[in-house]
A and B are shown apart, each in its own frame.
Chain A
Amino acid sequence: GDSVTQMEGPVTLSEEAFLTINCTYTATGYPSLFWYVQYPGEGLQLLLKATKADDKGSNKGFEATYRKETTSFHLEKGSVQVSDSAVYFCALSDNTDKLIFGTGTRLQVFP
């Protein structure tokens, strides 16, 4: 079945460092891909999405490009802030309403 694999955390960075969180997927069709963020004590918020190959999703300085050839959707940010500390989830949808999530990656940014 469809699945999502993302790098284990925690990822610990200093403020203004470059961030990459790897995400790869397995799917039989042409899924849509998502990154969600969960701040401490809160629910999930959609960070960005891409619905077809080579699309780039972007929001709040974060970017991810849908790479069909490598089945990847890595999350990047050029300069992280302390306020970016959260858990990041990669997810896919086979274009139904059901999302399949990765296990999440905790990001900790220190001043």
Chain B
Amino acid sequence: NAGVMQNPRHLVRRRGQEARLRCSPMKGHSHVYWYRQLPEEGLKFMVYLQKENIIDESGMPKERFSAEFPKEGPSILRIQQVVRGDSAAYFCASSPGGSQGANVLTFGAGSRLTVL
């Protein structure tokens, strides 16, 4: 039973380009969360999605960032027109949902974005 799979593990972009980060949740998990870890900081919640629905995007920057979790395929975090301040590790987590909440979150290994 594979865990949460994220790709790419490392991504380098120049300022102004687009970054797409993918996350495949654990088998049987229908809830996906994205967190961002800036250098020397803890993880900050960005967005929570279920299939075809954004449940909570309170941590998403208002511009340039978007996320989706389509009916088929992985969840995608998209950053348009990247800037140096977007350089960070982006972690995806999944859960089966239900009453257990964060008790059953499983994290992926992260995608490290570097903006030149």
**Residues of A in contact with B (beta carbons under 8 Å apart):** 4, 32, 34, 36, 42-46, 49, 51, 89, 91, 93, 95-104
Contact = CB atoms under 8 A, between A and B. Distances in A.
Given A43-B108, A43-B110, A96 B101 contact: yes
B69 interface: no
Contacts of A99: 35, 43, 45, 102, 105
Contacts of A100: 45
Given A32-B102, A95-B101, A96-B102, A103 B41 contact: yes
Contacts of A95: 101-102
B31 A97 contact: yes
Given A44-B107, A97-B95, A98-B48, A89 B102 contact: no
Interface of B: 6, 31, 33, 35, 40-45, 48, 56, 91, 95, 97, 101-103, 105, 107-110
Nearest to A42: B109
Given A42-B109, A43-B91, A44-B91, A98 B45 contact: yes
B43 A98 contact: no
A97 B48 contact: yes
A93 B101 contact: yes
Nearest to A36: B107
Nearest to B33: A97
Q: Top 5 closest A-B pairs, CB basis?
A: A93-B102, A101-B42, A43-B109, A44-B107, A103-B42
